[in-house]
Amino acid sequence: MPQQRLTQQVADAFLPRPPDVLGVAVSGGGDSMALLHLLHKLCTLHRTRLRVVTVDHGLRDAAATEAKMVGEVCAGLGLRHDVMRWEGWDGKGNLQDAARRARYALMAEWGHAHGIETIAVGHTADDQAETVLMRLARRAGVDGLSGMKRRLVMEGMTWVRPLLGASRTDLRDYLFQQHIAWVDDPSNDNEVFERIKARKALEVLAPLGITVSGLAEVADHMLDARTALEWNTFLAARDMVCIDSGAVIVDDQKMRLLPDEIQRRLLVRAMNWISGEDYPARRQAVLSVMKGLHRGQAGTAEGCHARRVGGAVWIFREYNAVADVRAPCGTLWDGRWRVSPLDADTDLAGVYVRALGEDGLARCENWRTSGCPHPVLLSSPSVWRDDVMLAAPLAGEGQNWHAEIEGGEETFFAALLTH
């Protein structure tokens, strides 16, 4: 790929309104080093301040040396460079997934600390093809096969992948032409990792026409289909969903008329919004809930409960998922509820928020007047000092306290189009 096309791809990701300050993640590998230099040219031209971050996962002795090399390159370009170190690996679970989550969390923390709202990362068409192949092996649906998005919001940060249309070969050619050095991570040849197995498999599949460019194109087609499904789910939600007491309430009759896939998506998005999870609930678990609802039965998945009440389906937090969750008053409870006194002079010493539960609900004589089903109130926020309940706003107890969803109820509808 000619250098001009690479430059244009990067420019298209940010123009015509480039941010005043832009972050870029650079590991020292070929992909990120190419991105660093391409962005440096773009930012210099458009007077955007560029700042660089490297995450040292602490998993290889050479990582610190590589981070130092990136710092030296940045110094030569007149750029600020910071290193974030991960020390949270406990040796359990999937190492690559844990490292990926930690990497994004650390970079988001770094960005927020420096007034950065957008961070560029160096994923390529090869990464996209490998992702599609790995998800195909897991029997993924449209969302999984749509691969990685060019732009997404996560951890309160906008992440941009300007090089998804470029191959690793394109970027290596650019680096050679510009006489730019890079380092190769030896783990890129370790077939213990699923991604490396996919990379090797692509070499074998190429004669069949299953290539990097082909799979990247499939991902683009699937993304178009995903966008259409998300839009139709959003329109359906606007027509038949309301929010009450933190629960998502769906008109049962209208929901039954929806295609199964739109019903499934609506349930998944409701569960994600309620639980705060980034990943969707397992497909089979959601389908099981759907089948139960059609038979008039309740169902549970990913810490959320769904049941028919009258002519509606209520989707709400499962009590067992929050039974032991405590939070000081004034902080977020269960990641989404903010409970506060109406009187700013209220003494908050020793005051905490917890799920109402059966013992708390028993103290709410007028809970039925709230119109909220009994199971929904069990997992609603309540205010306590020691063993004394001070308020249960959703159950009609404690008029001097207010409970609200962080960001408001509209965040549910917004989330339908931002996943």
What pLDDT score does 157 carry?
A: 95
Output the pLDDT for position 89.
62
Residues 123-129: what's their mean pLDDT?
Answer: 97
Cβ partners under 8 Å of residue 289, min gap 6? 267, 299, 300, 301, 306
For the segment 352-362, what is each residue's pLDDT rounded down to a tens digit?
Answer: 999 999 999 99
Q: What is the pLDDT of residue 196?
A: 87
The least confident of 19-33, 47-61, 177-191, 344-358 is 177-191
Q: What is the DSSP string of 158-188?
A: EEE-TTTTS-HHHHHHHHHHHT------GGG
Return d(Cα 164, Cα 147) in angstroms, integer.
Answer: 10
Q: Where are the alpha helices (DSSP H) in 58-178?
A: 62-77, 95-113, 125-137, 142-145, 168-178
Q: Which residue spans of the chain are classified as CATH 3.40.50.620?
A: 3-219
The yes-or-no verdict on residue 91 having pLDDT over 60 is: no
Q: What pTM was estimated for this model as a whole? A: 0.84
Confidence class for position 92, pLDDT limits 50, 70, 90? low
- Return the pLDDT at 15: 93
Q: What is the pLDDT of residue 87?
A: 78
Top CATH class of 3-219 equals alpha beta
Phi, psi of 16 (to 5 degrees): -90, 0
pLDDT of res. 190 = 64
355 with 325: CB under 8 angstroms?
Answer: yes
Q: Does 323 have pLDDT greater than 90?
A: yes
| Residue 392 near residue 398 (C-beta atoms within 8 A) | yes
Pairing type for strands 351-355 and 327-328 reads antiparallel
| pLDDT mean over 310-335 | 95
Per-residue pLDDT reduced to its tens digit, 232-270: 999 999 999 999 999 999 999 999 999 999 999 999 999
Give the model's pLDDT for residue 239.
97
Distances (CA, A) of 330 to 246, 276, 322, 402: 18, 19, 18, 11
Question: Which pLDDT band holds residue 90 (cuts at 50, 70, 90)?
Answer: low
**Stretch 395-409: mean pLDDT:** 90
Give the model's pLDDT for residue 194: 86
On whether the CB atoms of residues 163 and 98 are closer than 8 A, the answer is no
Half-sphere exposure of 243 (CA within 13 A, CB side): 16
State the Cα–Cα distance between residues 411 and 409, nearest whole angstrom.
5
Calpha distance 23→82 (Å, rounded): 11
Mean pLDDT within 212-236: 96
Whether pLDDT at 60 is above 80: no
According to DSSP, the β-strands at 21-25 and 49-56 are parallel
Higher-pLDDT residue of 276 and 278 is 276
Query: What is the percent of the chain where pLDDT is above 70?
Result: 96
Averaged over 175-190, what is the pLDDT? Answer: 83
Among 82-91, 279-288, 395-404, the least confident range: 82-91
Between 61 and 199, residue with greater pLDDT: 199
- Residue 113 is predicted with a pLDDT of 97
- Decide: helix, strand or coil at residue 302: coil
pLDDT higher than threshold 60 for residue 401:
yes
Of 4-18, 56-70, 142-156, 228-242, the one with minimum mean pLDDT is 56-70
Q: What is the mean pLDDT of residues 121-137?
A: 96
> For residue 95, is pLDDT > 70?
no
Position 417 scores a pLDDT of 84
In single-letter form, the type of residue at position 233 comes to T
Give yes or no for residue 100 having a pLDDT over 90: no
> pLDDT for 28-51, tens place per residue?
999 999 999 999 999 999 999 999
* pLDDT confidence bin for 186, thresholds 50/70/90: low
Considering the chain, what is the average pLDDT of its residues? 92
- 79 contacts: CB under 8 Å, gap ≥ 6: 40, 50, 51, 52
Element holding 275 (H helix, E strand): helix 260-275
Which of 54-63, 227-236, 255-264, 341-350 is least confident?
Answer: 54-63
